Amino acid sequence: MDAVVAADAAWGIGLGGTQTLVIPEDRQHFRRVTGRGTIIVGRRTLMDFPGGRPLKNRRNIILTRDENFAVEGGVVAHSVEEALALAGDPPEGVFVCGGESVYRQFLPYCGRVYVTRIYASPEADAHFPNLDALPEWELEDPGELSESGGLKYRFQVYARKK
């Protein structure tokens, strides 16, 4: 299982339930990385998807505490354990895609994190754990510096140390 995230210079990922920074190249990168795999997202993150609907061409597992929540085109899980069971064993081709609490709950199960690192510092009320400060993670691929709409960014890959 891996994670995919777009994070700013301070590891901020969102404000008020939506991404703070969006660049078209990140959306394309997300589609390439997650491919036709399985994604795990929280209910609030799902609401930020286009139309508040599960993403096409992927199996969508939505984590929520709401026992009455249902969504067409997605599978609902009410606990980390239930989501992991739905993901399969081993959970190959499974990507954790947010939000903050979902990332924190599933990071211990991830082997890699695909980070779109955007070099800006907007206000954020949701953050991804700072992988540079966690001894169990190392930067495997620093990515090439690119620019989009005046924002500099890199597609980076962090790997869990063995």
- The amino acid that residue 71 corresponds to is V
- The pLDDT of residue 118 is 98
Q: How many CA atoms lie within 13 A of 29 on its CB side?
A: 21
Query: What does the buried/exposed string (b/e) look like for 56-89 if buried means 16 or more CB atoms within 10 Å of the residue's CB?
Result: eebbbbbbbeeeeeebeebbbbeeeeebbebbee
Q: For 61-78, how does the pLDDT look when each residue is reduced to its tens digit (9 = 90+)?
A: 999 999 999 999 999 999
pTM equals 0.96
Taking alpha carbons only, the member of 115, 76, 78, 79 closest to residue 95 is 115
With tokens 């400060």, the residue in question is 133
pLDDT at 65: 96
**Can you identify the CATH homologous superfamily of domain 2-160?**
Dihydrofolate Reductase, subunit A (3.40.430.10)
Residue 25 has pLDDT above 90, yes or no: yes
Which amino acid appears at position 42 of this protein?
G
> Percent of the chain at pLDDT above 70?
100
Hey, what are 33's tokens? 């990385």
Residues in the chain: 162
Residue identified by tokens 């997605």 is: 74
